[in-house]
Structure 1
Amino acid sequence: MSSALFYSAKSDEELSSVIVSYICSFHTEEDAPKIKETLEDYLNKKKYGEFVIFCCKELSSHYVANTDKDVESVYFLLMEMVKKLGNCDECKDICLQICDILFAASFPTTLKARLLSMILNAMPSFKACRVALLKKTISFAQESKSLEFFYIFLMKQNNDDWENVMTEYRQVLITFRELLLEVKRENEAYNCLIKLLSTYKSNEDDYVKYATECALSLLNRLVFDESLHCQEQVVLQGLTEKAKDLAELLAIVNSGDLKALEALISSTDVLAKYQLNEKVIRDHCRIMALAKLCSAHQQMSYEDIAKALAIPQAEVEACIVAAVKAHLVEGKMNQIKEEFVVTRTHCIVVDGEWKNMLEKVQQWKEHVQFVIDNCDKYMN
C-alpha cells in the first residue's frame, strides 16, 4: 500500500478514497458502510480536521504489528490534508490533537518517533503552529531517542523567523536545554544556551540571567569550539554593562593574562560573588596563556613554557595535555628533549582581537551602506 501511495500519481479524491477504504478495512461488513458514510460526509462538507482526527483515532485503536509502513503512508496523506485548513488556529489545534492521539497510542516508540518527525517536517509553515508542536513534542525526545533530530532542527533555525512567537520559541529552547542537562549532554546544552542567548538583546529581561550562565559555563568548563567562538563574543557583549566584574574576569581568562588575573583576584571578590573555584580559574587562564604562546612560537622548551606560565617544569606536560583536550592547540611533545612542537593552533589569542574585529565589521557595514545609498540615488 505505502509504495502505491507515495509513488503513484493520484488525484486528491483518489487518495482520499484510498484512506477511506483502508480505515473501513478495520471493520466488519455491517459496520464498514457506516464508517464510510461518516468519512465521506466529512470530505463532502470539507471538514478536513474532523476527517483527520477520526482517521488518526482509527489507526491508533486498530493498530496491528508489522503494518508500520501503511500507518506512515496514511499519516503522510493526512498531514497533506491538514494543510488544506490553511494558516489558522484550527490547523494548529488539529496538529496538537494528532500529537495527543500519538502519545496515547499503543504504537511502538520507534514508530511514534518517525511519525512525530514526519509531522514536524510536514506541518504547516506558519510559526504559531510550528512552535506549538515543538512545545508539545519536545518532551518526547529522550524517550523516542530523537534528541539528535531536535538538536539539529533547533540549532539551524533563524531566530528572526520566530519573531512573532519569540516567547514560545524561547521556552522550547529552555525546555530542550534542561532535557539535555538531565541526560548529561553538557556540550549540546551549552550550545543550546548560546542559541537561547542569541534571541535576546542586552536591554531585555532575562538577558543578564542567561549571559551570566553562559559566562560561568565558559569559565568552569574549558572546551573551545571554533564554530561558536565568534558567536560567544557577540552574545556576551552586553555583559560588559550589566555585569562588569564578570565580563572583566572572562576577558582576562580568555586572553591568558596571568598578571591581570592575579591583580583582579587580589582586589575584588568576583570569585566568591559568582562561587567560582580559584584553582580552576587559574588553571584555565594558564591554559589560555599557553595557547597564546603557541600562536607565537612553533617550538618551545619545557623550561621556557614553565617560566612563561609561572609553574614548575614538572607541570608543563599536564598543562599541554589540558590545552590539547580543550581543542586549543595541537602538537607533539618530545619528552626526551623536553620540547613541544606546535602543529596547529585552533585559537589565536591576541589582545584586543575582538574589539578590532568589531571595529572593522562596523567600518565594512558603513562602506556597504554608502554604496547602497549611492545606488539608490542613481536608481531614483
Structure 2
Amino acid sequence: MQSVIIVEQELKDSVKGYGQILDTANENKSRSESLDKYIDQEGKITDKLGLSNEIFESIVDLAKLSDKEFEPTFNLAVYILIELTGSMTEVLDKYPTLLTQLTNINPAKQPTLRDRKSIKASSILSLLNNIFNFLPETSKYRIEVVSKILSIVKDSQLNFNIVSQAIGQNLVQWLTTAGASEDEIRSIFWQFISLDNVEYSLETLQVIKKFTSNYKVVKLEELHSLIDFAFKTEVVDVSFLVNSNVSEAIQQYKSSDELVALFDKYVHGEIIQSPSQYPSVTEKSKILALTKFFAESNGVFVFKYADFPSTLVSSPIELETLLIKSIKAGVIEGKLNQLNESFYLTRANRFVLAGSSEDNTKNWEAVEKVLHDWKNSLHNIKDIVNTSRENIVNNQG
C-alpha cells in the first residue's frame, strides 16, 4: 500500500493553502485569518504548538468538502501536523482522537454512483492507508488503524475484495510486529474474516487454516466463527480446517454445544439436518457421506445403483444428481453410465482429520493398499507387454 501526498515547497504556503480551502467550505475567511496569526511577515511559524492545535481543531470542517476535495485536503492537514510535531506517531500521541474524527466523517449511508459530491468510504480508507504507511512497523497505532479500516468496510458494506488481497496475508504479521496481544490478534483476525460474508471464498478458508495452525482456538465464539464460515461456503469438503488446534477445540465443546457437535458429524461424513441459518448443509453433508462411502469401498471401483445405501438416496434420479454434484464439488471423479445404471470411480477424497486416529489409520491403510496394488501392477507390466507381443506375432502368423 503506497502513499503519495503533494504539498507546497514551504510549510507556510501549505498552511495558507489549507486555510483558503476551508474558507471556501465555510464561506468566510475566519479560518485563514486564524491560521495567519501563527505566521510572521517573514513567513516563519511563530507558535508551532498553537498552529498544530488550530489545524487539528479545523479537521471537523473538512466534512463540508466534496469527496474530490476532501482526501487531498485531509492529507495536507496530516502533512502540516507531521511537520509541526515531528512524526505521525507524535501526531497521534498528541491528538489521539484523530483517527476517530476521520472515521466519524464516513457517511452512515453511502452515496450513490451519481453523487460526486458526498464523501465516500473509499476516500476514508485511502486516508487510513496513508496514515498506516506513515507509521513505523512497530507502532501500536497500526493496530488501531487496521481495526478502523475493517470497521469502515463493515459499516459501509463494501466489497471484501477491497481489503482481502492487501490485508489478508499480512494481517497477523503486521499486528504481531506492532506489539498486539494474542487477544487483540484473535479479535481483529475474526473481525477480518467476518467481512467475507458474500462469497465465503476458498482463499479465506485457507487464511483461516493458516491462522488456526499457529493460534489455538481458545474461545467458543472463535470456533463458532469458523463453523459459520465453513457451513456457508460453497466449498463442500472443509476437513482441511480441522488441524490439531481446531480438533482440540471441537473435542472440548462438542458435548455441550449443538453447533460444534453438528460440525463434528459433518466433517466425519455423516448426513446432518440443516439448521435454519444454513439451508445448504444437508445437501453438502450428503455429498461428503457419498465421498466417505467411496473412500471406504476397499478398492472397489465399479458400483451399481443398487450398491448405494438407501440412507443416501431414494431413487436413481436422486443418485445421479448427487453424483454429478459431488463431481462438481471436486470431492470425487468418475464416469456415470445411465444405460446400465453404474458408476466407475477413479478418485475420492479421503477424510484425514487431526485428532481422529482411528479414521486416519483406516485411510492410511487404504492408501497403502492402493499403492501396493499399483506397485504390483508395475511389476507385471513387462509380462503383459511380452504376452501382448507374442499374441500379435501369433495372430499375424
- Do they fold alike, i.e. is TM over 0.5? yes
Counterpart of 2:291 (choices 283, 288, 291) is: 288
- C-alpha contact (below 8 Å) 1:6/1:73 kept by paired residues: yes
How is 1:1-380 mapped onto 2 (pairs within 5 angstroms)?
10=9, 14-26=13-25, 31=30, 34-37=33-36, 40=39, 44-47=46-49, 50-61=53-64, 63=65, 67-81=66-80, 84-86=87-89, 89-90=93-94, 92-103=96-107, 111-124=119-132, 125=135, 128-136=140-148, 138-142=150-154, 144-148=156-160, 149-163=162-176, 164-166=179-181, 167-175=183-191, 191=205, 200-201=215-216, 204=218, 206=219, 208-211=220-223, 214-215=226-227, 218=230, 223-224=234-235, 230-239=240-249, 242-243=252-253, 254=267, 256=269, 283=286, 285-289=288-292, 292=295, 300-303=302-305, 306=308, 314=316, 315-324=318-327, 326-329=329-332, 333-340=336-343, 347-349=349-351, 352=360
* 1:187–1:153 distance in 2 versus 1, CA, 3 Å: same
**Cα 1:249–1:147, aligned 2, differ >3 Å: closer, same or farther?**
closer
Unpaired runs of at least 5, structure 2: 275-279, 353-358, 365-397
Query: Aligned equivalents of 2:336 and 2:39: distance in 1?
Result: 76
CA displacement 1:145-169 (0-9 Å, x = unmatched) = 4241245555333425424334344
> Do the aligned partners of 2:89 and 2:139 also contact (CA within 8 Å) in 1?
no
Cα 1:86/1:313, change in 2 over 3 Å:
same
CA shift in 2, pair 1:355/1:238, >3 Å: farther
Deviation, structure 1 residue 335: 2.9
Compared CA separation, residues 34 and 20, structure 1 to 2 (3 A): closer
TM-fit CA distance, 1:113: 1.0
Contact 2:313 2:319 in 1 (8 A): yes
Structure having the higher Rg = 2
Q: What's the TM-score, normalizing by structure 1?
A: 0.60
SS of the residue aligned with 1:336?
Answer: coil
List alignment gaps of at least 5 residues for structure 1.
266-270, 272-276, 357-380
Which letter does structure 2 place at the counterpart of 1:159?
A: V
Return the structure number with greater helix share: 1
The count of corresponding residues between Structure 1 and Structure 2 is 324
Q: CA RMSD in A?
A: 5.3
Shift of 1:317: 1.3
Matches of 1:244 and 1:143, distance apart in 2: 33
Deviation per residue, 1:248-274 (Å, 9 max, x gap): 986775454xxxx69xx9xxxxx9xxx
Task: Check whether the contact 2:103–2:124 (CA below 8 A) recurs between aligned residues.
Answer: yes
Q: Percent identity?
A: 14
Cα shift at 1:236: 0.8
Shift of 1:281: 9.0
Task: Report the more deviating stretch, 70-79 or 9-18.
Answer: 9-18
Amino acid across the alignment from 1:99: T
* Distance (Å, rounded) in 1 between the aligned partners of 2:153 and 2:337: 47
Could you tell me whether the CA contact under 8 Å between 1:332 and 1:340 is conserved in 2? yes
TM-score computed with the length of structure 2 as normaliser: 0.58
